[in-house]
Amino acid sequence: MEKLVGIGVSPGIAIGKAYLRNKELKEHQRSDIMKNQVEAEITRLKQASRQVKEDLVLLIKSASEKIGLTNAEIFNAHLLILDDPEFIPQVISIIDQEKVDAVTAINKVVKKYSLLFSQVQDEYIRTRISDVEDVAGQIKDKLLRKDRDKTDFTEPVILLADDLTPSETVLMDPDMLLGFAAAGGSKTSHTAIIARCLEIPAVVGVGEVLLSKENDSEVTIIDGDNGIIILNPTPSVLDEYNKKQESRKQLITSLNSFKNRKAATVDGRTIEVAGNMGNLGDLNRLLEQGSDGVGLFRTEFLYMEREKLPSEEEQFIVYREIALKMAEKPVIIRTLDIGGDKNIPYLGLPAEPNPFLGYRATRMYFNRPEIYKAQLRAILRAAFSGNIKIMFPMISSVQEVRKAHSIIREVKAELIREGHDFSDIEVGIMVEIPSAAIIADVLADEVDFFSIGTNDLVQYTLAADRTNKSVSDLYSHYHPAVLKLISLTVEAAHSKGIWVGLCGEAAADPLLIPFFIGVGLDEISVSAGSILRTKRDIGKWTVTEAMEITHKLLRTKSVEEVEFILSNSSKE
């Protein structure tokens, strides 16, 4: 038996036959070219880059189905590398000046980037070199006329490899890949993120010792929880891990029992547990997990990776399909939320120094009504087939809500004149700006429901960009100010007789479940993978217990105090 230690990046235990993939990194032999061959070599490079870009567009679509739209945006970074004003032009410059083949030139540029990235302190940024290498590798494969290695296994295996690129990982068949270990890699790599999304146990950063194992038939254990690989385990160790694996399976079976049950506290208060979705692929996962509905449908995917706005009819078909599949269950469609970290080039939005505080979401509706009228028409028509609700994002004032209502009235009048069937539906807003939470009692008179968007509420309340690693220590949904704004919003809504949901990263935090029960949330919307656990966790508490913890939390003065109360109250 031999034990190797690395970094556990995707939890779970895998036991099975090992398959060693030791790519021999042979140095590409430099090929000098003549001056009259330079133009042809540059043309070959450009053609290969175009082909890779076309492949990436298709990959993003298929990846969206596998790992969700948000995670598939990893590959948008690869498109950005191809469009980088420095990357390909540097390769072209080397071909032209040094009279070498394109593969040699690519290797030189990647080596330069690798050196630069290695000197960066931030691990997240440092590991982005793997994305550059992935894109470079795809271009080189095109130039050398190599097929991408999908590693088509004939039986389920545990893969031992030098490293896996993000594109390789997402292309693998999860039914044939029990788990994997890599000599290189890190916890923040895109490969690690994809492994977690696909629920494949994985350990990375094991070192070159992993590649010295010649026997690819040995039984191997991957312990993704603890970052351990065990080669040729003894019978007792194998028995121990078989029991752990069986225990995990029993947990999954236990969670599956919540699929067709409503989430309810010990003393009978029910809370809807809905799911977030960013594309049609997410819908199937929500249905499989027994979601009580769609609590947040991000419609941006309909507008991205294309050259013009989707038509009303295109949107109508998608919205109707979701409504029909969900039957009587609610489907909350958030109207287009672009700006901030999401840009759509063909809309020609102006560059802004601080887009998160700029021209985004609802703020665009009134200057660009043609965009939103088509979407609202499609939603209203699709609502005739199911239980659809409209939700407006980025609301900060009563005036914005009233203007949004005026556009809905215009659209309804148009549909009536044209003889279309449509339904009157509930209209709600996202409470994700502190001003909206503070005047929630006023806004509650204007709408049918609230959905508290915790990701933006946290960043705007604390003035800490959630995507900025430099201020990540300031960004916390445990901050007392955030908890008080959530409580204030729920109290105001219920005083006016409307219901309140909550979404965002905080929604999936098991430690916050008693707080959500205690403040009286009516609905929680989480990703598909968190639905069953959230239902189970709600069932651990009585309302009295939850309210006692909530009262303590609303009297706290610091994040540390909140964390202490929650960790000491946990029923995990």
DSSP 111: H
Joined together, the tokens standing for residue 335 give 């109207």
User: Across the strands, what pairs with 450?
Assistant: 429, 500
Q: Are 338 and 344 in contact (CB under 8 A)?
A: yes
Number of H helices, E strands in the chain: 23, 17
Catalytically annotated residue among 78, 190, 477, 479: 190
Please state, in angstroms and rounded to a whole number, the distance separating the CA atoms of residues 394 and 51.
38
Closest CA relative to residue 571, chosen from 529, 543, 523, 536: 536
Is 190 annotated as catalytic? yes
Q: Which parts of 161-220 fold into alpha helices (H)?
A: 166-171, 190-198
User: How many CA atoms, within 13 angstroms, populate the side-chain half-sphere of residue 101?
Assistant: 11
Closest CA relative to residue 167, chosen from 279, 252, 53, 281: 53
Please state, in angstroms and rounded to a whole number, the distance separating the CA atoms of residues 70 and 73.
5
Joined together, the tokens standing for residue 505 give 């990263």
Q: Residues near 48 by Cβ (< 8 Å), separated by ≥ 6?
A: 102, 139, 142, 143
Q: Which parts of 189-293 fold into alpha helices (H)?
A: 190-198, 235-256, 280-288
User: Across the strands, what pairs with 179?
Assistant: 158
Q: Position 10: which residue type?
A: S
Please state, in angstroms and rounded to a whole number, the distance separating the CA atoms of residues 298 and 277.
6
Residue at token pair 């970074």: 77
Joined together, the tokens standing for residue 466 give 């959630």
Residue at token pair 């960004």: 475
Q: Is 172 exposed, middle or buried (0-12, 13-18, 19+ CB in 10 A)?
A: buried
Q: Are 508 and 534 in contact (CB under 8 A)?
A: yes
Catalytically annotated residue among 78, 197, 477, 503: 503
Joined together, the tokens standing for residue 256 give 């599956």
Please state, in angstroms and rounded to a whole number, the distance separating the CA atoms of residues 546 and 512.
10
Closest CA relative to residue 191, chosen from 58, 60, 75, 62: 75
Q: Position 547: which residue type?
A: M
Q: Position 139: which residue type?
A: I
Is 477 annotated as catalytic? no
Indicate which residues carry an active-site annotation.
190, 503
